[in-house]
Amino acid sequence: MIEILSIPPLATVQDLGRHGHWFQGLGQAGVMDGLSHRIANLLLDNDESAATVEIPLTPARFCFRRKQAFAIAGAVCGARLDDRQLPAIWAGVAAEGQILELGGIARGARVYLAVPGGVDVPLVMGSRSTQLREGFGGHEGRVLAAGDCIEPIDDTWCTLPAGGFSVGLPPLGRTIDSEIEIRVLPSAEHDNFSIRSQKAFWSTPYQVTRLCNRQGYRLEGEELLWESDVELRSHGIVPGIVQVPGNGQPIIQLADSATMGGYPAIGAVIEPDLWRIGQARPGQYLRFVQVDIHEALEAESERRDYLASLTASLVQTRELLRSWS
């Protein structure tokens, strides 16, 4: 059991989302960075859909009330286990009484904390994700606070080396401070934007503003002009849709997005790149790269291969460690 000693608001229990209820007006919720979430789970030999704690603000402190394995993945935040610095991605065992501290975020935007078997909260409508707007799911349907306890589903854990495991994440951008490239499929209303707007969307960077949360990220950049006389009725939207309201500044709908919207959409971020947005901070720039459906499927395949390769390495290394112990 892990007791939360201190944590800023907005940390929630999330898994890969609550699917199949869109037609009822219920969004999927789920993690903002599916890649880090999956990696944290794989390092503990959890199912990739096991619930983790998504922490978008630090610093935070946790106390291990008993000896337990755990994993962290995502943003670089100067994590420490007692006086020992941890890499941004790490899985290992904490002794009873040890303190895990997450410091200020230096790179990225969210840290994921995984425990053996996943965070033990009730399964509601097929998921353990927190629906903040609706007030259910996750830990009592709310954000986590000091005094809350994170219980793992499993009391035991997989083989872990004494020093722990780590993983190298793909870089967000080409360099630490450079723009983050996001692959996007043109959406149904793309051609109804002015030619100049289409060129601007695909060739100029858009800055993440401070108006960003789990529902969506408001961006700022070249104005995008809708050139159709047709009034759009509200229609279904999904996470990743890039909407353009009347002010011409795009909004990317994300994990807690509404299920319907009436703004025209210029594109849709491919699912394998949504994690990059989840790790983008206000002030950083996004640059949209146009892809087609085949390239999108290839990106999905690459992600699947990367995770499969990581799983295979974990299986082989654990086997070796067990044989040597």
Partner 1 sequence: MFKRGELKQLIVAMRTSGVTTLEVKRQRQSLRLVLNPGPSSHPLSVEASLLAAGDPGADEAPETKFDTATSPTIGTFLSRGLDDGLRPVEVGMNVLAGEVLGYICHGALRTVVTAPVTGMLSDQETQDGDALGMGDIVFKLKVTT
Q: Which residue type, as a one-letter code, is found at position 71? A: A
* Nearer to partner 1 (CB atom), residue 11 or residue 81: 81
Contact positions with partner 1 (CB under 8 A) in 168-227: 168-169, 171
Number of residues lying near partner 1 (CB under 8 A): 35
The region of 80-88, 204-212, 245-253, 277-285 touching partner 1 under the rule CB under 8 A is 80-88
CA separation, residue 301 to residues 56, 294, 298, 308 (Å): 28, 10, 5, 10
Integer Cα distance of 52 and 227 in angstroms: 43
State the Cα angle at 13 between 277 and 155, rounded to 5°. 125
Q: How many CB atoms lie within 10 A of CB 111?
A: 29
Q: Pick from 123, 188, 289, 320: which binds partner 1 (CB under 8 A)?
A: 320
**Nearby residues of 103 by Cβ (< 8 Å), 6 or more positions away:** 58, 59, 77, 78, 79, 80
Contact positions with partner 1 (CB under 8 A) in 37-56: none
Q: Does the protein bind partner 1 through residue 301 (CB under 8 A)?
A: no
Shortest distance, position 62 Cβ to partner 1, whole Å:
18
Q: Does the protein bind partner 1 through residue 165 (CB under 8 A)?
A: yes
Shortest distance, position 205 Cβ to partner 1, whole Å:
23
Residue with tokens 């078997």: 117
Shortest distance, position 87 Cβ to partner 1, whole Å:
4
Give the closest residue to 56 by CA, choosing from 217, 295, 181, 287: 217
Shortest distance, position 159 Cβ to partner 1, whole Å:
11
Contact 181, 275 (CB under 8 A): no
Q: Does the protein bind partner 1 through residue 325 (CB under 8 A)?
A: no
Give the closest residue to 283 by CA, choosing from 206, 174, 175: 206
Q: Pick from 7, 89, 180, 182: which binds partner 1 (CB under 8 A)?
A: 89
Q: Does the protein bind partner 1 through residue 163 (CB under 8 A)?
A: yes
**Nearby residues of 114 by Cβ (< 8 Å), 6 or more positions away:** 37, 40, 41, 43, 44, 46, 50, 52, 53, 70, 71, 72, 73, 91
Shortest distance, position 46 Cβ to partner 1, whole Å:
15
Q: Does the protein bind partner 1 through residue 321 (CB under 8 A)?
A: yes
Instruction: State the number of CA atoms in the 13 A half-sphere of 121 facing the CB.
Output: 28
The region of 93-101, 219-227, 269-277, 313-321 touching partner 1 under the rule CB under 8 A is 313-321
Contact positions with partner 1 (CB under 8 A) in 94-123: 106-107
Q: Does the protein bind partner 1 through residue 280 (CB under 8 A)?
A: no
Site for partner 1, rule CB under 8 A: 76-78, 83-90, 92, 106-107, 161-169, 171, 306, 309-310, 312-314, 316-317, 320-321, 324
